[in-house]
Each structure stands twice: as structure tokens, then as C-alpha cells.
Amino acid sequence: MPTYVYETVPSAAQEPVDRFEVRQAFGDAPLVVHPTTGQPVRRVITGGLGVVANAKNTASSDAEPGCGPDTCQCGRFN
């Protein structure tokens, strides 16, 4: 089950925001009130999708030769 981050919605500009985490199933509805205080809450979007690049695919002079259509230097695809 994923852990979601929530924060309280302040009713006044000076009111502090309380952040907390809740473990919920994917199918569970998001919380609308704090489980103990009853204050209104909203889910905070955190994290995200990262992209991983293969360092050997960089265009540098010391990179190893690539292998693919019309670029193979190992003999497997020629």
C-alpha cells in the first residue's frame, strides 16, 4: 500500500499547516478531514516519475561503439 502525504487546509492566513502521512490502498478515496482533529485536509502531490539514461549512449569521443541497425561494429547485426 502506498503512503500519501496530506496537509491541513488553514482557515486563516496565520494558521500553521500540519503535514502527515497515511497508508492507503490505491482504491481508497482521498481523505477530506484529518483523522484525529476533523480539520479539512488536501492530498499533497510528491515525488514523480524519474528518467534514467544509459551513460553509454552519450555522444562523447571515448564512448564505446554502439550496436544497432547500420551502426553495429561487433558483427552481430551486419
In the chain, the number of structural domains is 1
Reduced to 3 states (helix: H, G, I; strand: E, B; else coil), residue 20 is: strand
Residues making up the chain, counted from first to last: 78
23 found inside a domain: yes
21-37 pLDDT per residue, tens: 999 999 999 999 999 99
Q: pLDDT digit string (tens) for 51-77?
A: 766 666 555 555 555 565 666 666 655
Q: Which domain holds residue 43?
A: 1-47
Q: Is residue 8 part of a domain?
A: yes
pTM: 0.58
Domain membership flag for residue 5: yes
